[in-house]
Structure formats: structure tokens, C-alpha cells
Structure 1
């Protein structure tokens, strides 16, 4: 058996109670990492992921809260450092889908989408960054919608574009510290949130050439690549596990 890619690493993952975040958390644990899960409200699902990770012989903690709350972010980072001994990898994966028609978008919902998808990401990264060191990694979740747009997801797509710019800019700032900052931009993925937004039968309009939505497990391996030494020469980059959609950037 080869050496585990993330042995003894401490990882903080947002939105890891289901979907892509859960798949990433479990895969990282399989590769030796201890996992801190930040989730918004579904404690039952978070507890299940925690139990699965502990079943793999790794440490795991769950932290409930809203990443758009700066004080919550600060306390969450301190708790992870205290209980897991530090933070080596940050995966920003919290996400919220908005309404499909710009005329129907309520100001409150637009602000909630930006709070969850980009402002919360920046706040959490701000408080985690001082705990990172040379060799650490930050991985942000963006989307193919950031490059192609999406007629039903206007403010969601806008936040995903902001995440790409944030990733590239932070990579430049983090370079002197030896911290790599990258992102993953999935295409359509079969997650509970996707089903809730589009329905079980209706697929995302950006149907990939593979003619099916990706599974969270398939996408998770892009995160693993960016978290470990395999991607030592990559920073400010975006991986596109999207089933063959051709996008620029």
C-alpha cells in the first residue's frame, strides 16, 4: 500500500454535510486527513459524515453556523486549531442556489446568495489564513456557470465568477508564504441541492457531452489533486471536471 496523500493533515471543509463537500471530506479522510466540517443546519447529515470519517480511523468534528458571520468564522477556526492541532487545508464549498428569474429575485435573497457563496468564503479564508503555512492549500468551489453563464441562475453565476477572481488574486498574495490557492469548477453534478433546485428529472441546461451529471465522488478527486503534493506547481488555477464542456479560463 502506498503512502497516504494527506496523512496527518488537518482539513476544514464548509458545506460538507452532503453533496460534493461530503464526498471531498470522506475521500480526504481515506487519504489520512482529519476533518472539520462546517455545516449550516442539517445536523443529522453532518453527524452521519462525521461517523463515516471516524469509521475510517480519523478525527472529525462538526461545527454548525453561518460563514457570513465573521465572529462565527473566527471561533470556528480557533476550534479547529484547538481540537485538530492546526489547519493545513481549507476547502470553501458552502453554496446557495437562488431564484431563476431576475424579475422574481428579491433583494434579500440576492444578498443571501452573495453572503453564502462569496462573502462568507472571504471571511472564513481571512481568519484561517494566519494558521496556514508553507505547503498549505486553499481550494475554492466555483462552477462552469462562472464561464458559460446560466439563464436560470443569475446571482449564483455572478458569485461563482467572483470566486474565480478571488482565487487568482489570493494566489498572488499567498505566494510568498508558500500557500497554494486553486479552485474547482464542476459542471452539472447530481447532488441533493441540484435535485432540490431543478427537480429529479430535469437536468441542468448546460448538459455535458458525457450526457449525464457527474457524481460528487467523481468531482472530489479534483479537490484531492489540488490538496496534495501532486499539484505542487499549481496555484491560481481552476480545474474543470465538467464532463467535457469546453470553457475558457
Structure 2
């Protein structure tokens, strides 16, 4: 199916690895022009640059930490200079850690909330002048936002906040023809840092009997970034295998 992304101008945050990389390469393969950013993995960024070269010279990989207000401003300036505007903004960048709540230090709470949630506010506010009627904002959230999970209170709170932000912005920006939605992945193969027994427990909980793949999340993001979803607004699309 043609996702009608040809010549769409799209910014994807956190695109050098995992789900983000799957999103970037899927959008590029569908004809979109993509700018993406990474925080610190230079090797992954170089590898992505090489891969994107196979889809033409329209794409750009830049270093930018979305938790840094100045870096966000520079990133959006690059989009303005390169593209002149944006047809979609995909906020995928995020961090996670696993800490019992009783031991959760304030600086780690702030790090996760800033990177996962405050950055969405910073990006949307900075990019708003580049978004016009028919454009789409997609936040990559998490299934845990609606169910909770031990040791990740800070992460869960940040992803739940994205849903609330999305619902409000969908109502506020809808009159301007800008749609705002969330894609909420369930357990994905890229979560290799989790213990094997945890991943196996997830597999048993998923009716499909397996973890998800990055390209399956990317397909949902591409749909929401495309005109095929032109009447989808304020929604959370769970891509979780039915867990």
C-alpha cells in the first residue's frame, strides 16, 4: 500500500537506534524527506547516515539532545533551513531506567520526565510555526502508561503525560488542521537490555506469542504521519500484540 508519504518533510527525534531507526528508515523508504537526531551514539548515527544514503540525499542526521532547550531550538532551525516547513513531527526520543520508587532519586525523576515529556512540549512549541494544515504530530508513548509497571514509576508517569498532552493539543490544534496522536508500543525486540526471564514473561502474556518488531511500530507511525489518517486525532494507538 502507498502510504502517500512521497515528498513529506518529517522530523523524527531519537532516530539512530531501535524503534526510532525503524521509523526513520520506513519513512525514507516511503519517499519522505527525513531529518532525525541522536543524543550521543556516534557510531549508530554514522551507520544510519550510510543506510539513508540508499534512499537519496534528502535526509539529514544531526546531533541534538531533546532535553536541552537550546539544542531543540537549533534542531528546529535546521528543519526550517533545510525544508522550509514540516509535514510531520515524530517525537520518539526517550530514556528509561528501572529503580524501586523508594530509591528513586529526584535527579533521575527529572531526567526521565524532561527527556520523555518536557521535550515534547519544547519540540511542539518550537516546531509549531513550521506545521500547517494537514500536518501531523506523533508521540511515541508506551503501553505501560495505561497499566503501570514496577520499578518504572518515573517512566510510566512521563508516558502517561504524553497521552494527556496529546489529548489537549489535538483539541487545541485541530482548528488549525494539525493532528496529534500517540503510538504506544508494547514489548519490542529492541528492549534487549531487559533480563531474559522478563522478556520470556512478556512473550507468554502476548496472545501472538512473540515480541513486537521496530518496523511494526514504524508502520503505525507512518500511517499516522500520512494523509491516510487524516481524520484520526487525539488517539492512542496501542501496538502491543494484544498483551
Aligned to 2:195: 199
Do the aligned residues in 1 keep the contact of 2:28 with 2:52 (CA within 8 Å)?
yes
Aligned to 1:15: 14
Could you tell me which runs of 5 or more consecutive residues in structure 2 were left unpaired when the two chains were aligned: none
- May I ask how many residue pairs the two structures share in their alignment? 241
Give 1:146 deviation, angstroms: 0.6
- The 3 A distance-change label for structure 1 pair 223 and 202 is same
Tell me how large the CA RMSD over aligned residues is. Answer: 1.6
Do the aligned residues in 2 keep the contact of 1:33 with 1:58 (CA within 8 Å)?
no
Cα displacement string for residues 165-195 of structure 1 (whole angstroms, at most 9, x for unaligned residues) = 001111111111101111101110111xx22
Do the aligned residues in 2 keep the contact of 1:182 with 1:235 (CA within 8 Å)?
yes
In 1, Cα distance between the equivalents of 2:104 and 2:19? 26
In 2, Cα distance between the equivalents of 1:188 and 1:105? 23
Secondary structure of 2:209's match?
coil
Give 1:104 deviation, angstroms: 2.1
| TM-score normalised over the length of structure 2 | 0.94
- Note the 1:140-219 alignment, pairs <5 A: 140-191=139-190, 194-196=191-193, 198-200=194-196, 202-203=198-199, 206=202, 207-219=205-217
Secondary structure of 1:36's match?
strand
- Note the 1:1-249 alignment, pairs <5 A: 5-191=4-190, 194-196=191-193, 198-200=194-196, 202-203=198-199, 206=202, 207-245=205-243
Do the aligned residues in 1 keep the contact of 2:3 with 2:226 (CA within 8 Å)?
no
- The 3 A distance-change label for structure 1 pair 102 and 173 is same
In 2, Cα distance between the equivalents of 1:166 and 1:204? 33
Do the aligned residues in 1 keep the contact of 2:3 with 2:222 (CA within 8 Å)?
no
When you count strand as a share of all residues, which structure comes out higher? 2
In 1, Cα distance between the equivalents of 2:152 and 2:200? 10
In 1, Cα distance between the equivalents of 2:2 and 2:108? 46
Secondary structure of 2:35's match?
strand
Give 1:200 deviation, angstroms: 4.8
- After superposing on structure 2, the runs of 4+ consecutive aligned residues of structure 1 that deviate more than 4 Å are none
Give 1:49 deviation, angstroms: 1.5
Secondary structure of 1:139's match?
strand
- The 3 A distance-change label for structure 1 pair 41 and 204 is farther
- Of the two structures, which has the highest relative contact order with CA contacts closer than 8 Å and spacing of 6 or more? 2
Do the aligned residues in 2 keep the contact of 1:102 with 1:154 (CA within 8 Å)?
yes
Secondary structure of 1:88's match?
strand
